[in-house]
A and B are shown apart, each in its own frame.
Chain A
Amino acid sequence: MSMRLWQYEVRRAGGAALLAPAFAAGAGGLVIGAAVRSGGGAGTVSDGLRYILEMAVPLAVGVAVTTLVGRDPVVELQLTLPVAYRATLLRRAAATLAGAVAVATAVEAVPWLGRPSALRSARLNGVAAGTGWSPHGLLTDQLVWAAPTLAMAALGLLVAAMLREPAAAGAVVAIVWLFQELMPQRVPGPLYLFASTGRFSGDWTANRASLTVAAVLLVAAAWPVLGRPSWLLSAAAAR
Chain B
Amino acid sequence: MTHPSADLPEFVAGTLPGDRMSTVERHLAGCARCATDAAAWGALSAGAEPPGPHIVVAALQSRPTPLTGALPRQSRLHGFRWRVPLPLARAQLRLIPWLVWVSPAAALVLGGVVSRHRPEAQSLVLPLVLALSIATVADQDPAPVSDVVRATPTSPRAVLLCRVLMVAVFDLVVGLPTAVDRGGGLGAAAVLAALAMLTAVVRGAETAAVVAVVVWASRLAADQDLIAPHPVRAVVVALWGAGPWTFAVAFGLAVVAVAAAGRSEPVRGSRATTPV
Contact = CB atoms under 8 A, between A and B. Distances in A.
Interface of A: 11-12, 14-17, 19-20, 23-24, 27-28, 30-32, 34-35, 37-40, 44, 47-48, 51, 55-56, 59-60, 63-64, 66-67, 71, 73-74, 163, 165-168, 170-172, 174-175, 178-179, 181-183, 235-239
Nearest to A12: B273
Contacts of A17: 206, 210
The 5 closest A-B pairs by CB, nearest first: A38-B230, A67-B206, A168-B103, A16-B207, A167-B136
A35 to B, nearest CB: 5
B227 interface: yes
Given A27-B215, A34-B232, A183-B114, 18 more contacts: A14-B270, A15-B207, A20-B210, A35-B227, A35-B228, A38-B228, A56-B221, A60-B213, A63-B213, A67-B210, A163-B103, A165-B100, A167-B136, A168-B132, A172-B103, A174-B132, A182-B118, A238-B97
A233 to B, nearest CB: 12
A73 B103 contact: no
B205 interface: yes
B221 A51 contact: yes
Contacts of B110: 175, 179
A31 B114 contact: no
Contacts of B27: none
Contacts of A48: 226
Given A165-B100, A168-B132, A168-B136, A59 B217 contact: yes
Contacts of B129: 171
A39 B226 contact: no
Contacts, number: 159
A47 B226 contact: yes
B107 interface: yes
Contact of A182 (B104, B121, B204): B121
Nearest to A177: B217
Nearest to B121: A182
A12 B271 CA distance: 8
A65 to B, nearest CB: 11
Given A16-B206, A59-B217, A31 B226 contact: yes
Contact of A171 (B124, B132, B144): B132
B234 to A, nearest CB: 10
A22 B145 CA distance: 32
Contact of B210 (A37, A38, A64): A64
11 contacts: A31-B218, A32-B226, A35-B226, A44-B226, A56-B221, A67-B206, A165-B103, A167-B209, A170-B213, A179-B114, A239-B142
A59 B229 CA distance: 26
A40 B226 contact: yes
Contacts of B182: none
Interface string B241-269: 00000000000000000000000000000
B214 A24 contact: yes
A59 B128 CA distance: 13
B99 A163 contact: yes
Contact of B233 (A27, A34, A63, A172): A34
Interface string B194-215: 0000000001111101110111
Contact of B128 (A34, A66, A171, A236): A171
B227 A31 contact: yes
Contacts of A51: 221, 224, 226
Residue from B118, B125, B227 with most neighbouring chain A CB atoms (10 Å): B227
Interface string B128-164: 1100110110000011110000000000000000000
Given A12-B273, A34-B233, A59 B213 contact: yes
Contacts of B103: 163, 165, 168, 171-172
A194 B100 CA distance: 29
Contact of B230 (A34, A166, A167, A175): A34
Nearest to A186: B117
Contact of B220 (A60, A167, A181): A181
Contacts of B132: 167-168, 170-171, 174
Interface in B154-187: none
B99 A174 contact: no
Nearest to B98: A165
Residue from B114, B132, B271 with most neighbouring chain A CB atoms (10 Å): B132
Contacts of A235: 97
Contacts of B209: 16, 63, 66-67, 166-167, 170
A28 B211 CA distance: 13
A60 B218 contact: no
Given A23-B210, A34-B233, A175-B110, A167 B135 contact: yes
